[in-house]
Structure 1
Amino acid sequence: MRHRLLATLLICITPAAFAVQDCELNGQTINTNNGAESAGKTGLVRCKDRDTGRMEREYELRNGDSFGLMRYYRDGKLNKEFTTTPNGPHVGLEREWAANGQLIEEFTNVNGNARGLRRSWYDSGAPKRVEFVADTEREGAAAHFTANKQLSELRCGPKPLLAPHVDDAALCGFGGKASTVSTFGSDGTLRGTQTLLAGVVQKSTRFYSSGKPSDDLERNGTQVKEGFYAEDGIKRREKLWDESSRPALLLRDAEFHASGTLVRERLYTVAESNGRKRSRLALDARYFLNGQPQSKEKFTLEGSTEVREWQRFTDSGKLRFQGSFVSDGRYSERAIGVHLSFFENGKTELENTYDAQGNIKRQRVWDADGTLRSDDELFEDGSRKAMGR
C-alpha cells in the first residue's frame, strides 16, 4: 500500500520536483526511496531541493505508510495542500495557491469527490467561481465571474445554496418575485440574460459576440420552447418540450431556411412503453421555400405495427401522390392499400392496389382528361391481364 501511495504522490509532483531532494523526518535525514528507513515511523516528512534549499514537498507518515496531510511547493512557495486516506482518496479540505501566494481554490473532499461549497479566485484575489457541489448537478448551484467581477454564468439550485458569498436567493428569484440577471464575457460584452423564479429559468437569451441571439428559451407551465439562431440572427431551429415528466419529452421540432422560411416540422405524441413515457413521431412535414407543402408523413400505430401515410405535393400545393406503408423493421417497410398519383389538374393518373405482403395486385391508369386507359390484374411473375377478361 505504501508503494502505491508513493507512486500516487510522484504523479502529483511537478517536473521541477524531480530534482535531487534532501528529506527529513522529525528533523532526522531520511532516504524516501529506502522503505526500511521509514518502516514503522510516524511524523512529517519535509523535502527540500538540494541546490536551492527551497521546500518541495511535505507529507505525513503514519506507522511507515504515507497518508494524511500532503503539501506541495512551487519555487519554495506553498502550491497545494490536501489530506489522503489510507486507501488513497483525498478527504477533507483541499487548497491551491497561485505563485503570488493568493489562494485560488478551496473545497472539501468526501471520499475523493468534491462536495459542498467550492470556491476559486483569480490570481488578483477577485472571485472566479462559487459552487455548491451535490450528488447530482440539479441539486447543486454555481456562479462564475469574469476577472472584472461581472457575472459570467449562473446555475441555480432547488434552494439558495451559495450564501454568504453569492446572494443566489435574490439572483435566482427565491423571494417570490422573478429576477432578471445578465451575464458577460471576459471582454465585458453581454453574453446572456435570464429571468428566474424559484431557481427555475422562465426566459433566457444567449448572444453571439456580435450581439445577435444564439439561442433562447421560454417556459410556459410545463412546456418549454427553445430557439436556435445562425450568427446573422435568423432562427434556424425551434423545439418544444414537455417537462411534466423526466426526462423531458419532445413535442415539436421545426427547421428553418437561411431566409427564415419554415422547411421542416416534426410533431410528436406522448406514448407509453414498458411503463415509461416517450416521444413518438406523429407527423413529419416538409415545405418548399415558397411556403407550399412538399411532403407530409403521418405515423400511426395499429396495434404494435407502425403505419406511415405519405403525401407528396407539387410546388403549387397540388397533391401529387398518396399512399400508406407498414414498417417491417428499422430500415424496411412495405406498401399497403391503395396508392394514388395525380395530374396537375387534380385528376387521378395512377392507382396501385397492394395486398398485405406488399405486392401490387391491381393497377389502373388514366389520361389527364379522366379517361381510363387500362385496368389490369398483376401477378407475382410480372405478368398481367385486363380486369374482367
Structure 2
Amino acid sequence: MSIEARWPLLAFVAVFCANAWAVQNCELNGGSVSRDNGSTTAGKSGLMRCTDDSGQVRRLDQTLRDGKAVGPVLMVLADGERREYSVNERGNRDGVARTFDARGTLRKEENLEDGSAVGVQKAFAEAGHLQALHFAAGRRTVLTIGYLADGSLTELRCAAVTLVPQDREPCGHTGRASDVTLYREAGKPAGTVSYLQGQMQRQSVLDREGRLVRNEELKDGRRIKRVFYPSGQVRSETDFIERDPNSAEGREGVSREWAESGQLTQETAWADGYEQRIQQWYLNGRQKARQRVRREGRLQERTTESFWDSGLPAAVNIERNGRLQGWQKYFSEAGVLVREDEHGERGVLLRRRHYGALGVFEREERFLEDGSRI
C-alpha cells in the first residue's frame, strides 16, 4: 500500500487504540455494556453507542453482529471531527469512508477494500473545494491531481490509461499532448508539465522566485533531466534511453555534473544498468580520475587512474568486487613512481615496493597475515 493510501488508516488506528479505553459509557439495545468486557456483548447484534465527555473519542457508534464488530461505524472526536466508515469480518475498514471537520465539511472520502485503498480517493480543503484526487491500484497510488480553489492544478502524476474524467485533458488521453501550468498558490506558478497518453513529455520546476530549478524532456526515445544552480548554470544532467518500467533492461546513457563555474566535474557512462566508465575533472579543467569498469558474471573489475591537479599521474588502482587486487601503483607530484603495493585475496596487503626520487627500485617489504613485515 502506498504512503498516501496508508496514512489515513494508520492515523485512525493510532487515535482509536490510544483512546478506546476512554470510551466508558456504552449502551446496546437499551442495556448497558462494556467494550472492555466481551461477555457483555457476546452473541448480541445491533448498534452499540458509547460516549465519554472527557476522552478524545467523545462518541462511538459501532455496529455489532453476533457480538463481533462488523458493519457501519461512526466516531466523533473531542475537536468535533467525525469519521464514518464500515468494518468487515476481519476487522478491516471496507467500503466508503468519510471524514468531516467540526463544521461538518467533508474533508476526506476514501474507497477501501479490506483495509487497502482502491480506486478514487479524495481530499477536500477547509473551504470545501476538492484539494486532491488520487487513484489507488495494486497497493500504490497511480494517479494524483492536486487543485487550488479556482480549479488550477498544483500537482499532476498520470497513469498510462485514463482512470477518471478529470485526467483526460491534463494527462493527454485525448490524443494530443497536454500543456499544464502548475501553481504553488493562486497566481504563483510552480512550473509546467506536459503528458501524452499518461507519459510525461516535458516538465519544468520553478522556485518561489520564479527561477528554473530543474527540467525534464522526452526526446527521440531518451529522457533528459537537468538540475540548475540559482544562477541558471546547469548543475547536473542525466540522458538515458527511456525504458518500459517493467522491462528487464537496465539504465543506458550518460550522467554529468558541473561546478557553478561551468566546468564539467564528472561524467558517467551507463550500459545494461551498470556504470561502465567514469571520468572526473578538477576545477582547473585537468583530469582528476578515470575509471573503467568490466563485468563478467558476478565479477566486477574496476581500474582507476588518478591524477594530480597538474595532470601528472597520481595512482593506478585495480579493484575486484570492491577490494584492491593485484599490483597498485602510486606516483609523486612529479609523476615519478614511488610505491607499488600487491594485494591478494580479500584485499589483503602482501608486498610493498619502494622507489627513490628518480623512480629507481630501493627495497621490498613482505606482509604477514597479522600485518607484521619481514
Q: Provide TM-score, normalisation by structure 1.
A: 0.74
Query: Cα–Cα, structure 1 residues 136 and 35, in superposed 2: closer, same or farther, change >3 Å?
Result: closer
Output aligned runs, 1:134-283, within 5 Å. 134-135=137-138, 137=140, 140-163=142-165, 166=166, 168-186=167-185, 188-244=187-243, 245-246=247-248, 249=251, 251-270=253-272, 278-279=273-274, 281-283=275-277
Structure 1 equivalent of residue 132 of structure 2: 129
CA contact (8 A) 1:158 1:198 kept: yes
CA contact (8 A) 1:309 1:322 kept: no
Query: Cα–Cα, structure 1 residues 310 and 157, in superposed 2: closer, same or farther, change >3 Å?
Result: same
Letter in 2 for 1:44: L
SS state at 2:312 partner = strand
Letter in 2 for 1:68: G
CA-CA distance at 1:50 after TM superposition: 6.5
Structure 2 equivalent of residue 106 of structure 1: 109
Letter in 2 for 1:332: L
Greater RCO (Cα-Cα under 8 Å, separation 6 or more)? 2
Give the number of aligned pairs.
Answer: 345
Structure 2 equivalent of residue 275 of structure 1: none
CA-CA distance at 1:223 after TM superposition: 2.3
CA-CA distance at 1:284 after TM superposition: 2.1
Q: What percentage of aligned pairs have identical amino acids?
A: 22
SS state at 1:12 partner = helix
Cα separation, 2, equivalents of 1:113 and 1:69: 17
CA-CA distance at 1:351 after TM superposition: 9.7
1:320 aligns with 2:312: yes
Query: Cα–Cα, structure 1 residues 114 and 18, in superposed 2: closer, same or farther, change >3 Å?
Result: same
- Tell me, which stretches of 5 or more residues in structure 2 are unaligned? 1-11, 345-349, 368-374
Cα separation, 2, equivalents of 1:25 and 1:76: 25
Structure 1 equivalent of residue 326 of structure 2: 334
Cα separation, 1, equivalents of 2:133 and 2:200: 19
Q: Which moved more, 1:202-211 or 1:287-296?
A: 287-296
Structure 1 equivalent of residue 100 of structure 2: 97
1:277-310 deviation per Cα after TM superposition (whole angstroms, max 9, x unaligned): x31x222222232333333233345894625151
1:63 aligns with 2:66: yes
Cα separation, 2, equivalents of 1:197 and 1:74: 45
1:285 aligns with 2:285: no
Query: Cα–Cα, structure 1 residues 81 and 320, in superposed 2: closer, same or farther, change >3 Å?
Result: same
Cα separation, 1, equivalents of 2:362 and 2:315: 19
CA contact (8 A) 1:227 1:239 kept: yes
Output aligned runs, 1:15-26, within 5 Å. 18=22, 21=25, 23-26=26-29
Q: Provide TM-score, normalisation by structure 2.
A: 0.76
Letter in 2 for 1:205: S
Query: Cα–Cα, structure 1 residues 32 and 354, in superposed 2: closer, same or farther, change >3 Å?
Result: closer
Larger Rg computed on CA atoms: 1
Output aligned runs, 1:337-356, within 5 Å. none
Query: Cα–Cα, structure 1 residues 332 and 187, in superposed 2: closer, same or farther, change >3 Å?
Result: farther
1:164-185 deviation per Cα after TM superposition (whole angstroms, max 9, x unaligned): xx2x111111222111111111
Cα separation, 1, equivalents of 2:249 and 2:72: 43
Cα separation, 2, equivalents of 1:68 and 1:187: 42
Letter in 2 for 1:215: R
Q: Which moved more, 1:200-209 or 1:304-313?
A: 304-313
Query: Cα–Cα, structure 1 residues 381 and 16, in superposed 2: closer, same or farther, change >3 Å?
Result: closer
CA-CA distance at 1:341 after TM superposition: 8.1
Query: Cα–Cα, structure 1 residues 121 and 288, in superposed 2: closer, same or farther, change >3 Å?
Result: same
Choose the corresponding residue for 2:305, options 297, 306, 310. Answer: 310
Q: Which moved more, 1:352-361 or 1:82-91?
A: 352-361
Cα separation, 2, equivalents of 1:27 and 1:70: 18
CA contact (8 A) 1:285 1:297 kept: yes
Cα separation, 2, equivalents of 1:64 and 1:342: 83
Q: Which moved more, 1:10-19 or 1:298-307?
A: 10-19
CA-CA distance at 1:132 after TM superposition: 1.1
Letter in 1 for 2:264: L
RMSD: 3.9
- Tell me, which stretches of 5 or more residues in structure 1 are unaligned? 1-7, 271-277, 367-373, 383-389
